[in-house]
Structure 1
Amino acid sequence: MDHESPLPDWDRLAALDDASVPLLGTALLIARDEYPDLDPCQYDGVLQRHVAQLRPRIEAIPLWPLKMLAINEYLFDEVGYSGNHDEYYDPRNSYLNEVFERRLGIPISLALVQMEVARRLGMPLDGVSFPGHFLVRLPVDDGLLVMDPFNRGRPLDVDELRERARPHVGGNAIDDHVLQQILHPASHRAILTRMLRNLHGVYAERGDWARAVRCADRVLKLLPEDAEALRDRGLGYLQLDYRRGARQDLGRYLLLAPDAPDAPAVREYLIEASTDPGRLN
C-alpha cells in the first residue's frame, strides 16, 4: 500500500483480479468497519519501521531460511507479536489495527503481518489456507519452508503437516500430491475472505447479528456469487427481521447450491422468511 494511497473501495474490489486486490489495504478496510477513525498510514508506518529495523540484518544474511529466521526472531521475540492462546475468539485478533497495537492475533492476522514485512524485504512469503490453522510458506532450494505464525513462526516438517491435516480430510492418510495441493499459496482474496469468515463465526456465535451480517456482506464485496456468504447474510437478515433481504439471499443460495447438505434446512428458513407475519418487510 502506497503511503499516500487511500484505502481501496469496497465496491471496486469484485472487479479486480486476485493479484490486484491489496492485502494490507483491504485488511485495514475490514478493520475500519469497526474502527471508523482508523488511519491506514499509521499502520503502514508500523510496517515500514519493522522493515527499516530488519533490512541491515537481512542484507547481511545469504540464505533465505536464515533470513526468515531473523525476521521471525525480530517479530516474535523482539517486538513481541504472539498468538492469543487465552482469548482466541476475541474479534480484536482479526482486526489488523488491533493486532499492530496489542501484538496479539490469530494465525491468519499474524501471518499477514509476517507476509507484509517479509515481502517488503524481498522475500516471497505466501499464505497457506491450511485446514485448521493458517500457515505461511517460503520457497527454498530443496522445497518449501512452512511455518506456523501462531507459534512464533515455528517451522513444520512434512510429518507434522500430514498429522495436522489428517483430521480435516476424514482421517485418511495424506500422500505427497494431496499435501502439495493443501500447501498451495492462498490468493489475497482467499486470505481476506477467510479473515471475514472468522469474524462472521465469532459474531454469529455471540448473537451479534448486525456485525455478522456486515462480515458476510463484505465477503460478497470480494466474491459476489459466493453461496456460503449469501446463506450467512440471509440467515443473519432473518435474525434481524429483514424478511425481504433474507428471501433474496436464501433463494439465491438455493439456486447456486441446490444440493448442499444444508439445503433442506435453508428451504425451511426461506419459508419462514416468506410467511412469518411477525417479520418485517
Structure 2
Amino acid sequence: MQFNEESRDYEAVTLVEGAIDLMMDLEPGFPAQWVRLQLSKLVKEAEAALMHETNSHLRLEGLIRLFYHDWGFSGDRNQYYAAENACLDKVLERRKGIPVSLGAVFMYIAQHLELPVSGVAFPTQYILRVDWPDAETQFINPFDGEFVSQKTLGAWLKGHKGPLAPWRDSYLTATSHTDVLARWLTVLKSALLREEQYADALRCSDLALLLRPGDPHEIRDRGYIYQQLECSHAAAMDYTYFIEQCPEDPAAELLKLQVKVLSAQTQVLH
C-alpha cells in the first residue's frame, strides 16, 4: 500500500485528528465520520456539564470525573495488548484503551474546554501534562485519570530502565504529535504481531517509517514481519541495515545468523 505523507502537518492538527488520518491509511473502511461525530458529542456533553464552572482547576477535575466515572472510560487491564485498544473507533465504542489512545481523546476534549493539557511520551507510557499559569505543573495518568507526582514517575522509570537509570528533565517535555503518532503505530504494530496479523503489522511499520525515516529499530521490526511473511530477501536486507546502523546492539549478532539463514533460503528459491 502506498502512503502519501508529504502534505501532512501533524503539528497543525490535534493529536486525535492525526490518529484518524493514520487509521484511515491503515484501514480503508475506518469509520472516520462516526469517530468525529462521537468526539463532537463528547465535547458538547462536557461543555454543557461544565459550563458554569469558571475555575480552571475545578473544571479539569470535573472533566476527569466525567470522562472516567460518568462516561466510563478506563484502561483495559484484562487485554492491555489487544490491537483494539489502539484503534480510535474501538476505544470510543468500548470505552477502553491504553494510555496513548485514552490520552488523545481526553486531551482533545480538554483543549476544547480551554484547559492547558498537552501530551508527553514518557519512557514508560504516554502521560498528560497540565501547565497552570498560577500553580505547579501537574501530570495525569490517562490510563485511570489519576494525578501522578514526579516521584512516582521516577519510580516508574527505575522499574522500566533499572535502579541506576538517570533522570532527565526532557522526559517531561511536551512531545510532538509526529513522535507520539509514530510511537502509537509501534504499539499497534506490536499488538498486531501478537495476534499474528502480519499484513496489517507491515502497513503499520511502513507508515511509521514515513514518520521516522531510516529508524533502524523500526526497520529491524519490519524485517521480522517480512520473515513471518516468508519474504526472505526483504527480511535479510532490513536485518543487514539494522546490523550496519547498530553494530553494538545485543541483537546484532543474532541477526547476523538470521541473515545467513535467510540468504541461503533466497538462493535455494532461485
Give the TM-score normalised by structure 1: 0.85
Identify the residue that residue 98 of structure 2 maps to in structure 1.
Answer: 106
Residue in structure 1 matching 2:55, options 36, 54, 63 = 63
Name structure 1 gaps, 5 residues minimum.
1-8
Matched residue SS, 1:276: helix
- What pairs up with 1:1-281 in 2 under 5 angstroms? 11-13=3-5, 19-20=11-12, 23-32=15-24, 35-140=27-132, 141-151=134-144, 153-172=145-164, 178=167, 180-277=169-266
Distance 1:251 1:69 in 2: 51
Q: Closer, same or farther in 2 for the Cα pair 1:179/1:146, shift >3 Å? A: farther
The runs of 5 or more residues in structure 2 that have no matched partner are none
d(CA) in 2 for partners of 1:54, 1:22: 18
One-letter amino acid of the counterpart of residue 193, structure 2: A
Please give the alpha-carbon distance, in whole angstroms, between the structure 2 residues aligned to 1:123 and 1:137. Answer: 11
Query: CA-to-partner distance for each residue in 1:200-257, whole Å, 9 max, x for gaps?
Result: 2223234333233222222112112111111100121012111232233223223332
- Partner Cα distance (1:14, 1:170) in 2: 39
* CA gap 1:279/1:61 in 2 versus in 1, 3 angstroms: farther
Q: 1:233 to 1:86 in 2, by over 3 A?
A: same
Q: How many correspondences in the alignment?
A: 269
* Displacement after TM superposition at 1:78 (Å): 1.5
Q: How far apart, CA to CA, are the structure 1 residues paired with 2:2 and 2:51?
A: 37
For residues 10 and 138 of structure 1, do their structure 2 counterparts lie closer, same or farther at Cα, with a shift above 3 Å needed? farther
CA separation of 1:179 and 1:59: change in aligned 2, threshold 3 A: farther
Contact 1:43 1:100 in 2 (8 A): yes
Assess, with a 3 A threshold, how the Cα gap between structure 1 residues 144 and 254 changes in structure 2: closer, same or farther.
same
Residue 26 of structure 2 contacts residue 204 of structure 2 at CA under 8 Å; is this kept in 1? no
Which residue number in structure 2 is paired with residue 3 of structure 1? Answer: none
1:89 maps to a residue whose letter is: Y
Instruction: Give the conservation status (yes or no) of the 8 Å contact 1:162–1:179.
Output: no
8 Å contact kept, 1:128–1:137:
yes
CA shift in 2, pair 1:248/1:278, >3 Å: closer
2:96 partner letter: L
Structure 1 residues 28 and 213: alpha-carbon distance in aligned structure 2, compared to 1, 3 A threshold:
same
Question: CA 1:14/1:183 → structure 2, altered by over 3 Å: closer, same or farther?
Answer: farther
Give 1:156 deviation, angstroms.
Answer: 1.1
Report the CA distance shift for 1:18/1:31 in structure 2 as closer, same or farther (over 3 A): closer
The alignment's C-alpha RMSD in Å is: 2.6
* 1:173–1:228 Cα change, 3 Å: closer
Deviates more, 1:54-63 or 1:89-98: 54-63
Query: Could you tell me how far apart the structure 2 residues matched to 1:199 and 1:279 are?
Result: 34
Task: Quote the offset at 1:267 in angstroms.
Answer: 1.9
CA offsets, 1:131-155, max 9 Å, x none? Answer: 333211110233211011111x111
Contact 1:242–1:279, Cα closer than 8 Å, also in 2: no
